Amino acid sequence: MFANPTLREHVRATAENRPGVYRMFGPGEELLYVGKSIRLRTRVLSYFRAPRGEKAWDLIRETARIEWDYVPNEFYALIREMKLIQELQPRFNVRHRRKRIYAFVKVTAEAAPRVLPVTRVAADGATYYGPFPRVKRLAHIVRELAQVLGLRDCPGTTPVFFDDQLEMFGSGQVPSCVRADLRTCLAPCCGRPRAAEYEAAVERARRFLEGRAEAPLRDLETLMQRASDEMNYEYAAVLRDRIDRLRGFRDELVAFRGRMEDLSFVYRVPGFAGDDRIYLIRRGRIRRELRHPKGRSGRARVARAIDEVFGETDLGPGALAPQEAAEILLVARWFRLKPKERRRTVEPDAWLQERRPA
C-alpha cells in the first residue's frame, strides 16, 4: 500500500506553516499518531517522502485522514501533544515512544501507616511524594527507609494495634514476621510500640521525604559507628552503603523540591502572527493560559488570574496525579533545554506591581 496522494494534495493545499498539533487516523478512524511542529505543513508533508523502513513510512501508509489544530507557539504545542498522547494513547506514539513511568512514595492513611513505592496516585487520603523517574531504585530505597525508621511493610490487611491498646487486644501476641526479631520494625502486629512512638517514626519519614530532616541518616551513622567500635566491620560497611543510598535519595528530593519551587512565574511567549500568550505556571504546572494584554482591561484580567492562581492554597508536592507529574517534568525540561526562555519569565508579584492597573 502506498501513501495516499489525495491526502498529500489535501495537506499541500490547506495546511499552513505555523505551530500546530496534528492527528493521523487510520481507515477505521482509529487514532494512529499525534505529533506537533512549529512548521506544521512542512512537517506533515515530510511523512509522504519518508524512506521505506522508517516509522514515518509505516505510519503514512496506514493513514487515511489527517487533521490539525494551530496553536500560538511551540511551548503550547508541546504541552498539548503530551496531553493528547496521555489521554488517547495513539498506537504509533505508544509503540514507538519509550514509555516513561514515574514513581511516587506513598505514606498510607492506615492505623499504622506504611511507606510504599507506587506508580499511581489515588484520592485515598494517603500522602504522595514525587514524581521520581527511577522506579526500581526507588522501591529499594523506600524499603531501606522503612527499615531504618522501623515502619512496617507487610500487607495492609495485617491486623495492627499498639501497646496502649493491649488491654483491649490482650498481650502475648506473636510477631508475624522476622523483622520484629531483627528490630527493623516497631512491630505493631504484636502491639510492641505505643501509638505515639509509631506516629513519631511516620512523621520522621514524612519530614525526610519532604527533604526537611536528616534523622534517618543520623540514626544510621550512630549504628555504623557502634558497629565499627565493636569491630563488626562487615555490618558497618553494609550500613555505610545504605547511608550513601539514602543520602543520594535525600539530595534528589531536595533538588526536585527546589526545581519545582523554582518553576513558579508568569511566562510570556511570543506567538505566531503576534498572538502572544501569557502562561501562569505554578510549581511546574500551567495553571492558566491568557492572551497577552494590550490594554488596561486586559491587564486587569491577567492581574485577577494571577491573584487566583498564586493566591490559592498550594496542596504541596504530595498532591500530584501522574499526568500532572508528566506536565511538571515536561515544563522543567523545556526550561532546562532552553535556558534563554527564563528571560521571558517574571515573578507574579513583580508583574502585578508593574502592570496591575491602578
Region of 134-142, 169-177, 270-278, 327-335 interacting with ligand SF4 (CB under 6 A): 169-177
Say whether residue 158 binds ligand SF4 (CB under 6 A). yes
How far is 38 from 75, CA to CA, in rounded Å?
A: 9
Quick one: which of 38, 111, 139, 177 contacts ligand SF4 (CB under 6 A)?
177
Residue 188 binds ligand SF4, judged by CB under 6 A: yes
Cα distance between residue 128 and residue 107, in whole Å: 6
Query: How many angstroms from the chain centroid is the CA of residue 343?
Result: 25
Which three cell numbers mark 348?
Answer: 507574579
Residue 294: CB atoms within 10 A of its CB come to 10
Q: Give the number of residues written for the chain.
A: 358
Pairwise CA distance, residues 159 & 179, whole Å: 16
Q: Which stretch binds ligand SF4 (CB under 6 A): 4-12, 41-49, 180-188, 311-319?
A: 180-188
Q: Which of residues 82 and 177 has its CB atom nearest to ligand SF4 in the complex?
A: 177
175 binds ligand SF4 (CB under 6 A): yes
- Does position 179 interact with ligand SF4 (CB under 6 A)? The reply is yes
> Interface with ligand SF4 includes 185 (CB under 6 A)?
yes
Q: Which is nearer to ligand SF4, 105 or 263 (CB)?
A: 105
Of 146-154, 215-223, 272-280, 329-337, the segment contacting ligand SF4 by CB under 6 A is 146-154
Which has the closest alpha carbon to 200: 162, 143, 245, 244?
A: 162
For residue 41, the one-letter residue type is R
Please state the φ and ψ torsions of residue 270, each to the nearest 5 degrees: -65, 140
Q: List the alpha helices (DSSP H) in the chain.
A: 5-14, 40-47, 55-62, 74-88, 91-96, 135-149, 166-169, 179-182, 195-209, 215-229, 233-262, 296-311, 322-337, 348-355
133 or 175: CB nearest ligand SF4? 175
CB nearer ligand SF4, residue 189 or residue 263: 189
Nearer to ligand SF4, 187 or 328 (CB): 187
Alpha-carbon distance 357 to 302, whole Å? 10
Min dist. Cβ of residue 213 to ligand SF4 (A): 22
Binder among 31, 138, 142, 189 for ligand SF4 (CB under 6 A): 189
| Cα 342 from Cα 39, distance rounded (Å) | 23
Number of residues that bind ligand SF4 (CB under 6 A): 13
Work out which of 38, 82, 154, 352 binds ligand SF4, going by CB under 6 A.
Answer: 154
Tell me the three cell numbers of residue 120: 499511581
Of the residues 153, 210, 276, 341, which one makes contact with ligand SF4 according to CB under 6 A? 153
Question: Residue 176, interface with ligand SF4 (CB under 6 A)?
Answer: yes
Closest CA to 162 of 133, 139, 192: 192
Cβ atoms of 3 and 24 within 8 Å: the answer is no
Nearer to ligand SF4, 40 or 185 (CB): 185
CA angle (262 as vertex; 99, 266 as ends), nearest 5 = 100
CB nearer ligand SF4, residue 182 or residue 337: 182
- Among residues 19 and 191, whose Cβ is nearest to ligand SF4? 191
199 binds ligand SF4 (CB under 6 A): no
Minimum CB distance to ligand SF4 smaller for 111 or for 352: 111
- In the complex, which residues of this chain contact ligand SF4 (CB under 6 A)? 152-154, 158, 175-177, 179-180, 185, 187-189
